[in-house]
Each structure stands twice: as structure tokens, then as C-alpha cells.
Structure 1
């Protein structure tokens, strides 16, 4: 009896803590959405109020859409995200397969170097990066340089994840059978190995899409003042003035920035969840 009571109490406490943690994460998002429909005066008077006394306003979204140059920034974000994530998936999956299946000493050195690179904070190389690419090479302001840097910073983690999956989840006998059937190494990878990595690929795509789409620091350093190449997070900076801040427009801009990712997740949530769960089970 005591044991059953203890389990029930533990279950209640665990549920309360989970809801409290959920509230900590969700309250800021909720306030952003609520304040996006309020005037600046109402936000400054009472940022925690659920409604504007003067009623709901859509003016903030109109200003955000216009001042952000939303369509151009949206297309820039889509281009940077799609190209960056596609290259990360392609290059990291091939690299991880090479590291696992070809037991060369140089592969072990490269893999160790990639793992070591994961623990280096971006802030450590931020200033040298800008100095070299901006001063010496004069390559900043170019979205293609941003894509290349996204690939460079994203490959290490993806290789690490793919490496563990290939090593423990894909039997070598399948590749040997494909070779006996006349497949080259490239054909073996793309026809046999890569399709089996769909769960891991789904996980990597989700993580990297969220990272690249929402990233502000790296694009701000690489894109600089080239407003034609601004991504959505960079475009929100246009609402910060020297002497005043348009809080309502900022909240609306944040909603517009997050909306495409939310819609994508709603449409693909079954594939994403099944991919993540399948990857966890196989690992």
C-alpha cells in the first residue's frame, strides 16, 4: 500500500514539474504572440496583459511585413537553409560512411579532429573569421559564403551522429551483397546505405533546419550591411532605432519568422517523430 501511494505521489510530482517546465518554455512564446496584436502604448503600460484595451490591432504585422521586406528575406532564408542543410546531409553521410568502412589511420585522425572541433565555441573563432574573410579575402556580404560556413560548422555534429548509426545499425553484409551484385562503391552508398539512414537523416535535418533558419550571429557577421541578402532573423533588426524600439512590430516580426518552421513541422510531424523514434531504437 505504501509503495503504491509513493508511486502515485511521485507521478503527481513528476507531472507538476513537467507542466511547470512547459510553462517556463511556453510563456515567452505566448507573450510574443499576445503582444504582437497590441499597440506599443499598451505593451509599455502592461506587457503581461492579455488584451489591448483598445482592441486587437494588425498594424504591427503590416509594418513588419513591409519594413522587413518579408518576401525577399523569406526567400533568402529558404535558399540558405535548403542549400546548407542539403550539403550538410550529403557530405556528412558520405564522410561518416568513409570513416566507418575504411579503417585508415588518416580517417581516425580526421574523425578525432571533427570531434574536437565540436567543443570549440563559435565565439572563440568569431573575430579571426571576420578578420580573414572580411579583411584579407574580402568575401563578406555574400550569401554563398554564409552557406559554406554553415556547412563547415554543421558537418562535425552530423558526421558524429551518422558515424554511430552506420557503425551500429547497418550490417556490412548488405554492402558486400550489393558489391557482389555489381554495384560500385558509389552505387552501394546511394542505393543501399543512404536509404537505410532515413531516421538519422530526419533527426539531422530537423536540428540543422532549426539552427540555420533561426541563426542570427553568423549571418550578421557574414552578410553585414548587404540588406538584399538579409535572412528573416537579420531583418528583425530594422525595428531597433537609436532612441526608440518598435516593440509591437518586433513581436509581429518574430511571429512571421517562426511561422514557416511551425507550418513545416505541422505538415511533417509524423515523419519527423517516426524518424527520431526509429533512430533512437536502432541506436
Structure 2
């Protein structure tokens, strides 16, 4: 009876996998076709596999520069979010007082504020300081990503006994050494979780870069893809080639980091 159930679950899993992969198959196959072939038959492979669409999309997207912009903004933002949030959460969790409790709830409450309610004054203020650029965008991401990250770190730090801090201080370590050499390595599972959540959000974000980036050559991949699709709306062979190039870095990243991602998420959930 159990083998029969397992057999049914395997069949269901295969069918769901095929259904999930179908859009990727259509995108990949049609990115090699001509415009005429796409409108003739969407599902079949191309008559002749050609990289002309990818060459055109690569140049029109200015792909290397756009990829560099996305990597620079995402990596810088995530690293600064991790460092600042971990230190802030450590200070709030160890310095138990009325002020620290109020500050923690302020960070938690900030997660409930919708971005749309602050985006106009935010852009206005940053414009006055001439920070509508990549640096200003990174600064904004740190602010928007800090609340959830501090909340997650704070919960993990509450499970680490203060006796570890006290033992390290007795051995002669200062507060900075205690945090970076003892406490922070113990936060690796939650750090991976924080990194994944922020990488997914920042890498795929379109709205904030569209408000902040106003200089040609500084666009992120989602922003550049918006302009690219607007230009090639009726030329699906070029649009699909550009879309394939856009998601390729994410697939490569997940392929090499899948073990760390799965382990970090599962460990973070247990914590």
C-alpha cells in the first residue's frame, strides 16, 4: 500500500516538475527562433539554432555593464545590511533596557510601513542631496532591509546565552572581539537566510531603481529589461533572448550555492 502511494507521489512530482519547467522551455526554445517561426509554431524547436538574437540582445542590453551594476548594488547592499543589522541586533539583545526595547519595536513596526507611502518624499529628499544614483540606491536598500534583518538576528541572538560573552570578556576579549570572533560565527545559519531574502529582493527590484537611477549606464537588470521590452514589444525573438540573458546569472548563482541556500534556510527555520 505504501509503495503504491509513493508511486503516485512520484508521478505527481514529475508532472508538477514538467508544468513548472514548461515556461522556461518555451522561453529558451523561442529565443533561438526568428520572428516568423515564433508566430508559426511556439512549442517546436527552431529549424536552425542561431545565436543572432542573443548577440543583438547582448549589445542592446549593454549586458556586461548592466550585470556589473546589479552585482555592485546587490552585493554592496547585502553585505552592509548583514554587518549593520547583526551589530544592531547584538546591541539591542544584550543591552536590555526600556530604550533598547522601544528601538526594537520601532524596527519591527517599520516593516509594516508600505513603501508607496514614503517613496515620493524619499526621492525628494535624496534628490536635494544629489543622491539619486547607485550610492543613494544602496543607502536606501540598507534602510529598507534593516528592519526584517534586525528582527531575524535579534531572535537568533536571544537563543545564545550571555555567559559566552562573559566568559570571553574574562579571557580578555573586548566587546568587538566577542561579537566578531564568537557570536557572529554562531549566527551563520541566520546570516545565510538574511542574505538570501535580501539578494532575491534587491536583485529583482524594479520600482526603487526606476525612481532613483536616472543616468544612462547605471541601470540594473530589471530596469534595463523594462526599457528593452518596451523597445522590442513586437519582436519576441529578441525579447525572449534578452530575458534568458537576464535570468542566467540567477540560475548560475543558485546552481553553485544551492547546498548553502537549502542548509541556511533549514537551519534558520530551526533556530
Q: TM-score, normalised by structure 2?
A: 0.89
The aligned counterpart of 2:94 is 101
CA distance in 2, matches of 1:118, 1:10: 43
With 177-186 and 255-264 compared, the bigger mean Cα shift is at 255-264
Q: Which runs of 4+ in 1 moved over 6 A?
A: 7-10
Q: 2:27 aligns with which of 28, 32, 50?
A: 32
* SS state at 2:217 partner: helix
Cα distance 1:21–1:107, how it changes in 2: closer, same or farther (>3 A)? Answer: farther
**Unmatched tracts of structure 2, length 5 or more:** none
Cα distance 1:116–1:104, how it changes in 2: closer, same or farther (>3 A)? Answer: same
Q: 1:279 aligns with which of 248, 268, 271?
A: 268
- Does structure 1 conserve the Cα–Cα contact (< 8 Å) formed by 2:53 and 2:238? yes
The aligned counterpart of 1:193 is 183
The aligned counterpart of 2:210 is 220
* SS state at 1:103 partner: coil
Deviations 1:7-63 (A, max 9, x none): 77876676666556545543333322222222222223443x1323x3222111101
Is 1:257 matched with 2:246? yes
- Does structure 2 conserve the Cα–Cα contact (< 8 Å) formed by 1:162 and 1:200? yes
- Does structure 1 conserve the Cα–Cα contact (< 8 Å) formed by 2:34 and 2:237? yes
CA distance in 1, matches of 2:74, 2:23: 25
CA distance in 1, matches of 2:90, 2:170: 19
* SS state at 1:50 partner: coil
Cα distance 1:191–1:122, how it changes in 2: closer, same or farther (>3 A)? Answer: same
Please tell me the root mean square deviation across aligned C-alpha atoms, in Å.
2.4
Please give the residue correspondences for 1:153-232 in structure 2 after superposition, counting only pairs within 5 Å.
153-168=144-159, 170-224=160-214, 226-232=215-221
Deviations 1:91-133 (A, max 9, x none): 1111111111111212212211221221223233233333333
Q: 1:44 aligns with which of 32, 39, 57?
A: 39
Q: TM-score, normalised by structure 1?
A: 0.85
Post-superposition offset of 1:83: 0.6
- Does structure 1 conserve the Cα–Cα contact (< 8 Å) formed by 2:233 and 2:239? no
Deviations 1:199-248 (A, max 9, x none): 11111112212222222221111103x12111222222342346853322
- Does structure 1 conserve the Cα–Cα contact (< 8 Å) formed by 2:85 and 2:146? yes
Cα distance 1:166–1:38, how it changes in 2: closer, same or farther (>3 A)? Answer: same
The aligned counterpart of 2:51 is 58
The aligned counterpart of 2:236 is 247
Is 1:148 matched with 2:139? yes
- Does structure 2 conserve the Cα–Cα contact (< 8 Å) formed by 1:239 and 1:245? no
The aligned counterpart of 2:81 is 88
- Does structure 1 conserve the Cα–Cα contact (< 8 Å) formed by 2:126 and 2:136? no
Aligned length: 271
